[in-house]
Each structure stands twice: as C-alpha cells, then as structure tokens.
Amino acid sequence: MKTKAAVLTQTNQSLEIEELEIPTLKEGQVLVKIAFSGVCHSQLNEVRGLKGVDNFLPHTLGHEGSGIVQEVGPGVKKVTEGNTVILTWIKGNGFDIPSTTYRRNDGSVVNSGAISTFMNYAVVSENRVIPVSNEHSLRELPLLGCAIPTGAGIVFNTAKINKGETVAVFGVGGVGLSAIIGARLREAKSIIAIDIFNHKLELARNLGATHTINFKEQDIAACLNEITHNAGLDFSIEASGNRKAMELAFNSIRTGGGLCVIAGNLPAGETISINPIELIKGKQIVGSWGGETQPDKDIPIYLNLYKTGKLKLNSLITQTYKLEEINQALDELEKGMLGRGLIEMT
C-alpha cells in the first residue's frame, strides 16, 4: 500500500510530494487515513533549518491532525479499525514507538517520527492518537492536537490563570490565539494581544482579547503600564519565537510573583538576556512543553468545550490547502498571513 507524503529532503528547500510504500505495522503502531493536518510553526522551523542540524533527513513532517484508523498493530488496545482519532505530538497513554520508515519506489528510505500528518496515510505510535466520537467535524479536530492543548494548556495547566488576573500574549498565531481563548474561558480581567500584524490582532480581539498592541507601531512597555496602572502583568505568554518579544514578556510581569511562560522557539544557538535582580525581586520565568497537557485527560475536556460552543475552533482556521500546496502554506505562515492553516487530504 502506498501513500502520498510531503518529504523534507534538505533544509531550506521546498518540500517534495512523493509516493511512499507504507511499512508493515509493528507492535504498538496504528495506520491512520489522514483527513486534515494542521500547519504549525514547528514545521516551518524544521524546513527553514532553524532547529539546527537535521540528522534524520529525508523525513516526513506534521504533528497535529485528524483521521480514521485503518489498521492497528499487535498489542494496540486504545483504538480499533474505523475509529475517528485526533493525532497529537504530545505523548499520551499507550505504546511509545519513536520512529518508523517508509520506502520510495527506488527502495531508498524516508524517515518518520512517532507521528507525521503531512500525508494521506500515516503510521503513528499508539500514544499519539486520541479516539473521539465520529459525530465531530474532522476539519476542526486537528486544532485539538497541538494549538489548543499548547495555548490553552499554558493558561489552564502552566500558569493556572484565574478570574480577574491580567495576561499578555506575545504572538497570536495558532498557539497564541488558543491562549487568548483559554484566558477568556478563565475570565481574566485584561487579555492583551501583541503582534506585528493588525489582521491577527483583530482576530485576537474577536476571540476574546480586551486590548491589542502592535509590536512594531506602538511602545509596548508604555501601553502595558497604562493598562496595568504601572503594576505589571500577572502573566505573560510568549508564543512568537522572537528574542526581543521574550525579553519584553519577562520584563513586563510584576515583581513579587509575576510569571512569564515561554512557548516560542528561538533559532538554534540564539539566547535571551534577563537581569537576575528581577528574579530576586520575585519575577518568574518558565518554559512550557505542550501546555503540560495530558492528552487522554485534557483533550476530552477541550472537546466538551467545543461541543458546548465555548470553544469555537473554526474561528482559528484562516486557510485550507491541498497537500500539493504545502509549500505555499508554509510561505504564508512565515509571512504572518495565517491563524491556523489546514491541509486537507483528498
């Protein structure tokens, strides 16, 4: 059996759509027919070579999606053939099978991790799939595989933001917008969206931001001081992967307990600078790994919020592409044109 897949053969080059032979399933693996895949900044960083030396070339990509189980390998108990599933890069329950390989028509190998979604059919590890009812829209489910668990998860699990508190989100792409939604659900008093694109700031306001600031056009520190009456933020969330934004996010929180959460990725080798005296004064800075999400416990919670209309996933989706348009999707993501883009498999 064969699949079409977007393959990264060399960093800083376009992905190539190739036909690959699907391997026989090993213990703990699941074959999924992919319906939709999200396009995340992580894949853009991989393609552009910003994560450093890539030792796994050539390889497949994609880490959030939706689809239908076609076959299960030995020992798999979490899902069965015909189940609708959400695919997520965040490890859940079940077998953890870290890698697999596909073969080109000439016999050469294409590597893959525990999950890939830029393809029609994908072999994934059991612990990267979450079974859900088939009543749900396959189009919207991919957002529950990365964007929502990471962004809203930072609000719910990492920062534990409460009613009446203040938070600024630096960078309102898929993860940042999800953090805005999470802060609204937690009834934060001031929810401040910060970005360089006005159309994304408008989307953030529609999703719950109480204030918006253009990073290029306005004085961030002055604006935040005005909003917080010089008290500083209770929380800041950095989701842009920009060094200056990370430093501003930390500097903007209040002394005596303010928390800065870093979710964005800097290019390999790049670092940030903070003044240790600010730590002594009680400012805190932490990173977040997927919003500290436990997929088998947390994704059903987000799914219920979606079912009850409190989590409007469709509002995050700004463009849908075909697999053959994957390079266009990455280019438009890089240009700041997307909230969350989707790849529809046909």
Identity of residue 109: V
Residue type, 252: S
Q: Where are the domains of the chain?
A: 2-145+312-344, 147-291
C-alpha 313/C-alpha 264 separation (Å) is 21
pTM for the model: 0.95
Domain 2-145+312-344 matching CATH 3.90.180.10: the answer reads yes
CATH number belonging to domain 147-291: 3.40.50.720
Check residue 272 and give its pLDDT. Answer: 97
Amino acid found at 77: K
Cβ–Cβ < 8 Å for 80, 31 = no
Average pLDDT for the chain: 97
Q: Could you read off the pLDDT of 57-105 as tens digits, one per residue?
A: 999 999 999 999 999 999 999 999 999 999 999 999 999 999 999 999 9
pLDDT of residue 346: 77
